[in-house]
Amino acid sequence: MSEGGNVTGGGHLEVNGTMMWYYHICPREVWLIGRQITPYKEDDNMEMGRYISEKSYKRERKEVEIGPVKIDVLSARNGRVVVGEIKKSSKYMESAKMQLLLYLDILQKAGIEAEGELRVPLERKRERVVLDEENKKKLEHAKRDILRILYLGKPPEPKKVNWCTKCAYREFCWS
């Protein structure tokens, strides 16, 4: 769950995939992650996600760490690098897409051209993701706002969203 840097650790802070994913669901979670406040690890949703990731796509290389991110699946297809992001549901596909765009951007800056693919094995769904100019602009905006949130002195106020009932951080907001 914890990728990359943190606000309290002193070093250079980088936006990681987990932050990008949560940013599009709940900015408060970004702030908590940035302070290395870890969610309840035995949360059923987190365990299910780990199980699906572990059991799916066994023939491909998994959990490859590159800089501040951990890529779920890395493979080659037709001479191209394919970065796969595995999700248990297609409910939050925009968040997953932005997370995958971050991975593609980091690889591109390292000189590696790659394709992205969102995968939802329980739904037998795959969606191609491309880092084009429009998506680069969205990504840069999101990265700037994530950094703004991380440097706040206190977390953003909690806001009830559909995700709250499944959130491993719910005690931090609603206790």
Cα 8–42–73 angle (5° rounding)? 75
3-state helix, strand and coil shares in percent for the chain, rounded to the nearest 5: 45, 20, 40
Residue 64 in domain: yes
Residue 106 in domain: yes
Residue 169 in domain: no
Q: How confident is the model at residue 61 (pLDDT cuts 50, 70, 90)?
A: low
Residue 5 in domain: no
> How many domains, the chain?
1
Q: How confident is the model at residue 77 (pLDDT cuts 50, 70, 90)?
A: confident
Q: What is the pLDDT of residue 42?
A: 60
Please enumerate, as own/partner, the contacts of 101-104 that have beta carbons within 8 Å and a separation of 24 or more: 101/129, 101/131, 101/135, 101/136, 101/138, 101/139, 102/15, 102/16, 102/17, 102/20, 102/69, 102/139, 102/143, 103/17, 103/66, 103/69, 103/71, 104/129, 104/131
- Give the predicted TM-score (pTM) of the model: 0.80
Residue 78 in domain: yes
82: domain range? Answer: 17-161
Quick: pLDDT tens for 17-34.
989 999 999 999 999 999
Q: What is the CATH number of the domain that holds 76?
A: 3.90.320.10
Residue 10 in domain: no
Quick: pLDDT tens for 94-121.
999 999 999 999 999 989 899 999 988 8
